[in-house]
Chain A
Amino acid sequence: MNKSALYITSALTAVAIAALGQSQQYKLGRPAAPEEVRELDISVAPDGSGLPKGRGTVVQGQRIYETLCANCHGDRGQGMLQYPALAGGQGTLKSRSPLRTVGSYWP
């Protein structure tokens, strides 16, 4: 989405939100406690906010990948059977057999 489209969308949304001001309150639904929100909220924003607290190294990551991922996606992320490749594919997107991976494609 380009910048002007985003601007128009936010302007329209702002108008719509302003109109919510006179809304009817039905007093249904119970307040969500902060700990309930923390428990259910698993969203991670594109900038990484929302990720669980913690840190790790590439070596630790490799061990986790080998334990949890490699069985289906291959030891080098090349994919197999119905399990898609997770790496590679750079330079293939204009061809008739594009390989869409995190590295080559995901916008």
Chain B
Amino acid sequence: MTQTRLTRRGFLAATGATIGAIHIPVTGFPKDLGAGPRPYGERSPFEHSVVRFLPKTSTPASSYSKTPLQDLFGIITPSALHYEVHHSGIPEIDSQHHEVMIHGLVERPLIFTMEDFHRLPSVSRIHFLECAGNGGGEQIARPAMNPQRSHGLLSCSEWTGVPLRTLLEQVGLKPGASWMVAEGADAGRMARSIPLEKALDDVLVAYGQNGEALRPEQGYPVRLIVPGWEGNVNIKWLRRVQVVDQPYMSAYETAHYTDLMPDGTARQFTFVMEAKSVITRPAGGQQLSGPGFYEITGLAWSGRGRITKTEVSADGGKTWKEAQLNEPILPKAVTRFRLPWWWDGKETSLQSRCTDETGYMQPTREELVAVRGLNATDHYNGIKVWYVHANGEVSHE
């Protein structure tokens, strides 16, 4: 660092450090002036181990990455750590030239630029996104080793955009309109059918994520946010909305994201991600340093609304204690829960179960498998158990 100009902030910090040296150990603290500001921030180099997990996939274009839930605090996922699922890779789109067409059973088909979206009345809301397949391995008795591997296809962000309802008001709906097809600008033109009832309720055409423009891997410059519904319908790189009179049976609502049931039939249009929770600390892959106090913390969420209760069992499911839900408790968003815990040094297990505002309680894996069998692994929301061993090791089995 060759910068010698002493800034006001740098001067205050420097004098502060000198005065502070009376009270704090000097060893290890820098004595030279630190670096100056930079145009776009970076995290501490000591945090570089906190990264998305990228499983090996056949091609980079059809791939995914998982959020390190065990390393995060609060409810917001940093945009750089938001989970990804791509079926045709990440397209590079120039927002200056991107347009979204809304047509079909409408009075006035219109084409919107990004400038149009920025001029229209906007809203910002916090919602989770979760891949339909999140935790699917748990269902088929392949429990994953840590929260990132087991539940990391889940993230939560503040999204800013225009309510889709506003845009549908601009084009005007024709009689018979009941569904819409949303289509992305990725190479595969990912398309999903969404009932208009949902579109007119709370769907956003979003361009902002956690205060800045969407990341390319999150759909830059504009995407759908369909609160509480499986990630796949939240079409990224939105290029077209067609108002129609029926679901269009695209590949991603027939071949994929449908649930094959034990009797050979399929559950289809299983949009809502049901109530689910996971303890993120202490959790698999972590090491307790000895008996004593630990805070048990984790995340709970429901695609049907607010979380009303999360209970934790630290004795193999025999007794359950109600955890504290950290404010804000928002509908279709992740809620952080906390429970103080004194570990006595004995072998035990930790698990959480949540209840949402509809009264629905998260089921056990066994309850879920009894109904759905083992051939469908999407939309799994069973209870996750972590095992604490006498040596302090926490694992998934």
Contact = CB atoms under 8 A, between A and B. Distances in A.
B260 A82 contact: no
A25 B167 CA distance: 10
Given A20-B172, A37-B103, A98-B260, A26 B120 contact: yes
Interface string B1-25: 0000000000000000000000000
A26 to B, nearest CB: 6
A52 interface: no
A23 B201 CA distance: 15
A17 B174 CA distance: 9
A102 B251 CA distance: 10
B181 A43 contact: yes
- Contact size class for B? 35 or more
Interface in B257-289: 258, 260, 262-264, 266, 268-269
B300 to A, nearest CB: 28
A41 B103 contact: yes
A106 B120 CA distance: 40
B169 A24 contact: yes
A100 B255 contact: yes
A13 B170 contact: no
Contacts of A37: 101, 103, 109
A36 B59 CA distance: 33
B110 interface: yes
A93 B260 contact: yes
Contacts of B111: 29-32, 36
Contacts of B195: 9, 13
Interface stretch (B76-84, B145-153, B237-245, B305-313): B237-245
Interface in A34-64: 36-37, 40-46
B72 interface: no
A44 B248 contact: yes
Contact of A26 (B101, B170, B258, B266): B170
Contacts, number: 118
A68 interface: no
B196 interface: yes
Nearest to B239: A40
Given A16-B200, A32-B110, A44-B248, A96 B374 contact: yes
Given A13-B178, A42-B189, A29 B242 contact: no
A37 B105 CA distance: 12
A12 interface: yes
- Contact size class for A? 35 or more
Contacts of A44: 248
Contact of B116 (A29, A81, A106): A29
25 contacts: A9-B197, A10-B178, A12-B197, A13-B178, A13-B195, A13-B196, A16-B200, A17-B196, A17-B200, A28-B119, A29-B170, A31-B109, A31-B110, A32-B110, A32-B111, A36-B101, A41-B103, A43-B183, A45-B248, A46-B247, A46-B248, A46-B249, A98-B264, A100-B255, A106-B255
Interface of B: 58-59, 62, 101-103, 108-113, 116, 119-121, 165-166, 168-170, 172-173, 175, 177-178, 181, 183, 189, 191, 195-197, 200-201, 239-240, 242, 244, 246-249, 254-255, 258, 260, 262-264, 266, 268-269, 374-375
Given A16-B201, A46-B246, 19 more contacts: A9-B197, A13-B200, A17-B173, A20-B200, A24-B169, A26-B119, A26-B170, A28-B119, A29-B113, A32-B101, A42-B183, A43-B181, A45-B248, A82-B62, A93-B375, A96-B374, A100-B260, A105-B266, A106-B254
